[in-house]
Amino acid sequence: MSWWLLHVDMDQFIAAVEIRRRPELRGLPVVVGGSGDPTQPRQVVATASYEARAFGVHSGMPVRAAYKKCPEAVFLPSDPAAYEAASTEVMDTLRSFPVVVEVWGWDECFVGAETDDPEALALELRTAVAARTGLTCSVGIGDNKTRAKLATGFAKHERSHAEPFEGAAGGAGVYRLTADNWRSVMDHRPVRDLWGIGPRMERNLAELAITTVAELAAADLDVLKKRFGPKMGTWYAALGRGLGDTQVTDVPREPVSRSHEETFTTDLVERADVERELRRIATEVTQEVIAEGRTIQRVSVKVRFITFYTPIKSRKLPEPTQDPEVIATTSLLLLEKFELRRPIRLLGVRVEFVPGSTS
């Protein structure tokens, strides 16, 4: 038997959890986010059902904007405890199989398994999740995590289109992407289709005349290293060839940071108000970190202005600490680096831990 990587990604997870406990919402446009009141400002969509997405609603957009696009949608408040519980149901279902499950979030995980028929295993997993939880998922099959993750996107495409996807392998809801079909499926695609390449990196690569996956795979490694550094340059070169990690572990990943962000109902204008709120946020996040027995080595401050320009400044501490006053003072020192010429809608503080710093 061979070692396979399967990426399991739940379909419209948060919306699906809400629909599971409110079956009358099935088939309706559903938007989840904030308090569930679309008239309230400064709220963001957590997820939208496929029916709502057809109107252009998507996660991350303001709830008010979602209401303008789809006023007939059902708007619901976020319920993290319910999503956590549903996620546990899903992961426990997957763990009932002779596989290794590496959780990456509420709605996704990697599954490592030895099998001669990964498509059959993927079907078993999908069937079991649906039967035990009432939720559905798509499964990407790969010979590493990179290809398995990308394959899931194609699996979802298969489920939503009548015609088979180019290079299809696995059937609706399941797709296999390996070294055997990587080039035929991916070579002609834009680099933004790769896992880990966003708009900014797409622009950076375009400046090197690299716009497709094939061009990235064939790029001069020295050129990539010079532009992006030895580590990232090598990583991008490997990404263009579909290379990736093949290890799956069921050991929970240790968090490396914690952050608090707050979007204010009224923009902050006076500097004294900004400093007061920043100190409060820094203190709150530090107290949570102390409660977990962790020690802080770096602090970052995020400021989002009314223009949505969102700069971030950070500083490594002279020595690790658990002192809230040190973190608050450092946050205020970082604030000095910002030009506070416009009202502020959001403040955030992120603290990075010393590795292994738990009591």
Q: Rounded distance, CA 359 to CA 357, Å?
A: 7
State whether residue 228 is helix, strand or coil: helix
124 catalytic per annotation: no
The phi-psi region of residue 275 (left if phi > 0; otherwise alpha if psi is between -120 and 50; otherwise beta) is alpha
Residues shown for the chain = 359
Kindly tell me the burial class for residue 299, based on how many C-beta atoms sit within 10 Å of its own C-beta (0-12, 13-18, 19 or more). buried
Q: How far is CA 78 from CA 31, 41, 47, 242, in A?
A: 10, 15, 9, 36
- Helix ranges, 96-219 (H): 118-133, 145-160, 182-186, 199-206, 213-217
Task: Specify the amino acid at residue 141.
Answer: I
HSE-up of 352 (CA within 13 Å, CB side)?
11
Q: Which of 18, 102, 108, 158 is catalytic?
A: 108
Q: Rounded distance, CA 292 to CA 203, Å?
A: 40
Cα angle: 98, vertex 102, 108; to 5 degrees:
110
Q: Is the separation of the CB atoms in 351 and 299 below 8 Å?
A: yes
Catalytic residues: 108
